Structure 1
Amino acid sequence: MILIINLMLYFKQSLLIWFYEHDVCLSLAVQRELDERKKFDAFLSFSHKDDDLIEEFVERLENGRQKFRLCFYLRDWLVGESIPECISQSVKDSRRIIILMTNHFLKFT
């Protein structure tokens, strides 16, 4: 019993992710009340040099078994608005932030 408890504590994050992905014990990953009013599940941040990866990434997240509403600049930002303002608003409107951290992204920052 002690071994099982230790393993559960050690792999807590992985177990929670697995539970959430498989719709098991979703109460373990309950969303806070503040998040319920958010327009998007996540804001997607990435380097423009990774556009080839983004299409597949967005497709899998928005149309997979667990469907997510993503915010990303190609369709959700207003043309002519300042980029810092768009980023700020996107973060405010999203429950989470996903950063596609590639070598291109690291060189950009």
Structure 2
Amino acid sequence: MGDRQTSSVSARSSELVQKPRWGFWKGLIAGVAIEVPALTAAVWGLAQLGIGNPDVSLMRILRLTTVFAGVAAVFTAGGIGRLAAYASIDGGRPRAMVVAARAHAAASAG
């Protein structure tokens, strides 16, 4: 029992850490699934409150949002996904969420 040897393997061994795969594409898909409908709902909601034309249909707003704001939102979400994937190497999922939230806040402000 006293002959046990401690393991020299650690969580951060000297081996090469594999780069995260598909980070940009995962972020892009999240942007398509979340950001474009959220922008559409916001524009439609503002129109219903009197800021804009309340007679415009939701599908027309969705098409215009996709063409004009959606392209930029989707590429921004792809870049944030890539950034979060690389941040997850150092700190796991909690670190990736913090980095992605900061990047998204900065991108939304601009």
Please tell me the TM-score bracket, short chain as reference: under 0.3
Structure with greater proportional helix content: 2
Structure with greater proportional strand content: 1
Larger Rg: 2
